[in-house]
Amino acid sequence: MRMYDLIMKKRNGGELTTEEINFFVDGYTKGEIPDYQVSALMMAIYFNKMNKRETADLTTAIVDSGEVVDLSSINGIKVDKHSTGGVGDTTTLILGPMVAAAGVPVAKFSGRGLGHTGGTIDKLESFDGFSVEVSIKEFINNVNGIGIAIGGQTANLAPADKKLYALRDVTATVDNMSLIASSIMSKKIASGADAIVLDVKTGSGAFMKEEDDSFALAQEMVDIGTHVGRQTIGVITNMDQPLGLAIGNALEVIEAIETLKGNGPDDLTDLCLTLGSHMLVLGGKADTAEEARKILQGIIEDGSGVRKLKELVKAQGGNPDFIDDVSLLPGASFIEDVKAPVDGFVEGIKADDIGIAALILGAGRETKESDIDLGVGIMLEKKVGDQVKKGDVIARIYANDTSKVETSREKLLGAYSFRDREVIKPTLIRGVVTKNGIEKY
Ligand code: URA
Ligand code: CA
């Protein structure tokens, strides 16, 4: 088999066989096929697409490029959750403890962040001493003991995806549905999840700007899950503005704690209750999403969600006292107000640019090697639809290095748009996709 022939076939609109897909994924993982040939193939796939069978085969080939985590010694149905990427997305820190408190085992492998703010692991490291360097045995013991563990992604989990994603990232071939779907689903399947809830973002801050494309992406992933015997649900959610109010690591941890206590922003709370409900249904703890939502609301009200977060932090070496006294978390020395330049209504807040404004302050990584400052970030005071008067505070910058504040402020102001007429607040939850089809709200 020759890579040249595969590229030519796809370039001419042909369909790759299972053997051909296995051949290029295996060859690329082993370093036997060069980047330039795989990038040519990715571009051919970008233009000529893959059908469902090819997409499922690509997913399986990526899973088989590394090890599959064996979580069979964990009792119960392991339900994982994945978001297609958002700015200031704190949901895992809230959902994990909430769902675990409801009795669904949470065995999660998370990553560090690149760009924007940190990943879930970076955020958890705001708790002094917290570590994801636990052995798989300890990890499983923790899930069986307290219902939750968060580990780091091992190097040998879907290694083909690491190479392919990095290559796509620099060759303008990320935003193809089959490629995104196989990339995400391969990692979830290799992580040992029995069932998967996907938060598929739509809007200006998402890969898929158009709602129809987001539904189609969700359908693609649900089909892959169904094909490999993992129940999968996709929830389509709006990303026309950042989620919640906090963007920054420790700031998002505080927001997560507040949300677990019932004092979180409405959109973040609603999203967590919605995703969590589906997780409980898939995990066999409720018959309907409505019933599940009541259970989760009870977990917020009786404080068992925030107690579960404490247990998690303690089990992985972190200081749980930080949860009762958030002033112990990494902080910022300077807080600067950003004010509305005009009277009117907030029309849009470009999530990506808010992410960059936080990155400039040091909340995210420019490169894999960069250090991040866990204490800095941005708190939004006004969101889409809010009325403002010129000079009202629309956001606050939390900084430790004053020389970075002006550039961040410019980016932040540029992310906001205003208009003089009333703006309708966007609906967060747009619909769900299950193996039975699409339901739009
Ligand atoms: N997230 C992933 O993990 N892979 C993609 O291709 C896109 C988003
Ligand atoms: Ca947030």
Domains and CATH numbers, the chain: 3-63 (1.20.970.10), 79-159+172-324+430-440 (3.40.1030.10), 330-419 (3.90.1170.30)
Does the CB atom of residue 183 touch ligand 1 within 6 A? yes
Residue 58, pLDDT > 90, answer: yes
Name the percent of the chain lying above pLDDT 90. Answer: 86
Residue 209, pLDDT > 90, answer: no
Ligand number, closest to the Cα atom of 178: 1
pLDDT at 348: 94
pLDDT at 154: 76
Active site residue 161: yes
Distance from residue 193's CA to the centre of ligand 1 (Å): 17
Tell me which of 62, 184, 200 to substitute to probe ligand 1's pocket, judged by most ligand atoms within 8 Å of the beta carbon.
184
Ligand number, closest to the Cα atom of 217: 1
Contact yes or no for 329/126 (Cβ under 8 A): yes
Does the CB atom of residue 86 touch ligand 1 within 6 A? no
pLDDT at 393: 98
Does the CB atom of residue 178 touch ligand 1 within 6 A? no
> In ligand 1, which atom is closest to the CA atom of 180?
6
Does the CB atom of residue 165 touch ligand 1 within 6 A? yes
Least confident of 59-68, 134-143, 401-410: 134-143
Distance from residue 84's CA to the centre of ligand 1 (Å): 7
> In ligand 1, which atom is closest to the CA atom of 179?
6
Active site residue 116: no
Does the CB atom of residue 184 touch ligand 1 within 6 A? yes
Residue 204, pLDDT > 90, answer: no
Mean pLDDT calculated for residue range 413-429: 96
Ligand number, closest to the Cα atom of 94: 2
Mean pLDDT calculated for residue range 227-242: 94
pLDDT at 435: 92
Distance from residue 440's CA to the centre of ligand 2 (Å): 25
Helix (H) or strand (E) holding 162: helix 159-169
Positive or negative CA dihedral for 224, 43, 118, 341? Answer: negative
pLDDT at 208: 85
pLDDT at 16: 98
> In ligand 1, which atom is closest to the CA atom of 184?
3
Least confident of 109-118, 179-188, 194-203: 109-118
> In ligand 1, which atom is closest to the CA atom of 168?
6
- Model confidence, pTM: 0.93
pLDDT at 119: 84
> Within a 10 A sphere around the Cβ of 25, how many other Cβ atoms?
26
Mean pLDDT calculated for residue range 227-246: 94
Determine the straight-line distance between the first and last CA of the chain, rounded to whole angstroms: 48
Q: Give the model's confidence band at 367: pLDDT under 50 very low, under 70 low, under 90 confident, else very high.
A: confident
pLDDT at 306: 98
Q: Give the model's confidence band at 366: pLDDT under 50 very low, under 70 low, under 90 confident, else very high.
A: confident
Of 162, 168, 230, 308, which one is the catalytic site residue?
168
Residue 6 φ/ψ, nearest 5 degrees:
-65, -40
Residue 155, pLDDT > 80, answer: no
Vertex 12: Cα angle to 8 and 15 (nearest 5): 85
The closest residue, in CA terms, to atom 3 on ligand 1 is 184
Mean pLDDT calculated for residue range 425-441: 94
Q: 3-class SS at 395?
A: strand
Q: Give the model's confidence band at 329: pLDDT under 50 very low, under 70 low, under 90 confident, else very high.
A: very high
Residue 170 φ/ψ, nearest 5 degrees:
-105, 5
Active site residue 214: no
Of 57, 122, 161, 373, which one is the catalytic site residue?
161
Mean pLDDT calculated for residue range 327-355: 96
CA distances to 96, 194, 307 from 103, rounded to whole Å, are: 11, 15, 14
pLDDT at 113: 73
Mean pLDDT calculated for residue range 333-357: 96
Mean pLDDT calculated for residue range 105-131: 86
Name the percent of the chain lying above pLDDT 70. Answer: 99
Mean pLDDT (the chain, rounded)? 94
